[in-house]
Structure 1
Amino acid sequence: MSLPTAYGHLAAADPVLRRLVGGVGRPDPFTWQERGYPVTSNFAAMALHIIGQQISTAAALTIFGRISASMGGEVTPAGLLALPEDRLRACGLSRAKASYLHDLARRQAQGTIDLEDMAGVDDATALADLTAVRGVSLWSAQMFLVHQLKRPDILPAGDIGIRRAIERAWQFDAVPGVEETRRRAFPWSPYRTYAAALLWASLSTPLPLAERPGGRARRTLGTAQ
């Protein structure tokens, strides 16, 4: 999918996104693996997503590196199943996350889920399969669909960064809720992944003077664009 096509659609569908494209540019949402993350398979990537839930990226990468080193440099289902929980905890995992990784490894080994061959699985089914794994949050499943499967129409509406970016760009008086975020994103389909990338990128872009607090009246949630 080309960036001009996706961002052309978003700019035509929403005047606020059109303004953001003009100020932020057209970020590529599918560059996660190109930033040096040490994953060799979709399975390893999903393991890293689980490890990274509710901790910093730096901490997640450190723990992932320890686990990888303990099984010879590659995180695999067989390798994880061979590591007892106390070994995983010694790498820095909580007891809960150790059990989550074992559940993921069992499902992959038994064929309940096949993370390496999901190209023909639709988004809704893929999300359902992933969140059936113990401890896999909807956010982690959505990140897997974006970063590993490169799906173009995923909006993590529960992500606080996305919601804060909407509050900021639309000059709302409060951070929108998850359902409000989903409702606002309907016109952005089928390129909501690109909209998410744009919104995240906008958080590190200074607001124009006219749009800074005090520059104009802020809108109440639910009002028109």
Structure 2
Amino acid sequence: MAADKDTSAAMEPQGELAVPIYWAEAKAALIARDRIMAKLIPQIGDLHLRGQPDPFTTLARSIVGQQVTPKAADAAWARLLATCPKLSPAQVLKAGAVELAGCGLSKRKTEYILDLADSFKAKRVHADLWSQMDDEAVIAELVQIRGISRWTAEMFLIFNLLRPNVLPLDDPGLIQGISQNYFSGEPVSRSDAREVAANWEPWRTVATWYLWRSLDPVSGSGTVE
């Protein structure tokens, strides 16, 4: 796993959740066209991706999870929620660096979350327009925020905007899932991954999620249902 990335399973959000409206159609299409998915999807059963509707919370959670284990991320997140129960940009800014650091966040992560909160409060990001923007346009805006990488932006597309065709090639879980399920554990290049994923379009998000679940059938966050 790359150093600046949270685990994919840990990105499964908590709170009010939504099921993608395309899930059943995507499952049927993947089963029909991909022999690995035809075996894997029935094994996973009725589990499915669930989305977090609040953009600020989703992005803040991704920052907290960077460079630490899911267990450490969960602990820091719980302390952050205790400090900022509403977890609004205004509440985070009011808490300030000292209180955020007291939640177990590093100096860098504290700066990132404060910058994220300020970006939302000052409306330097256009969260109300993201649902109308294409994937690359959303990514381009998000990566302007400190602490938000392309991988984080792609996780946001998957878990917040519920976009159906995201292929997060920087995600180690996706690469490992392709390696284990399609290449008998042999190393997989980005080119290999793209070739496999070409058969999944326009449902690459869904196939990616099933590969994550093949590695971690029940997320430690307890939010996969």
Instruction: Please report the TM-score for the alignment, with normalisation by the length of structure 2.
Output: 0.77
What's 1:154 paired with?
166
What's 1:46 paired with?
59
What's 2:71 paired with?
58
Residue 94 of structure 1 pairs with residue 114 of structure 2: no
Could you list the runs of 5+ residues in structure 2 that have no partner in the other structure? 1-20, 218-225
Residue 10 of structure 1 pairs with residue 30 of structure 2: yes
**Residues 173 and 119 from structure 1, CA distance in 2 versus in 1: closer, same or farther, beyond 3 angstroms?**
closer
What's 2:188 paired with?
176
Structure 1 residue matching 2:132: 3-state secondary structure = coil
Asked whether the 8 Å contact 2:31–2:41 carries over to 1, the reply is: yes
Amino acid aligned to 2:76: I
Residue 70 of structure 1 pairs with residue 111 of structure 2: no
Deviations along 1:92-147, one digit per CA (max 9) or x if unpaired, are 11111111112111211121113355211211111111122111122222221111
Asked whether the 8 Å contact 1:41–1:116 carries over to 2, the reply is: no
State which structure, 1 or 2, has the greater radius of gyration over its C-alpha atoms.
Answer: 1
**Bigger RCO (CA 8 Å, 6+ sep):** 2
Could you list the runs of 5+ residues in structure 1 that have no partner in the other structure? 34-39, 206-225
Structure 2 residue matching 1:187: 3-state secondary structure = coil
Structure 2 residue matching 1:155: 3-state secondary structure = coil
Range moving further from structure 2, 190-199 or 136-145: 136-145
Residue 137 of structure 1 pairs with residue 149 of structure 2: yes
Equivalent residue pairs, number:
197
Identity %: 31
Q: List structure 1 runs of 4+ shifted beyond 6 angstroms.
A: none
Of 101, 104, 121, the residue aligned with 1:109 is 121
Amino acid aligned to 2:208: A
2-structure distance, mates of 1:96, 1:179: 33
Amino acid aligned to 1:70: T
Asked whether the 8 Å contact 1:43–1:116 carries over to 2, the reply is: no
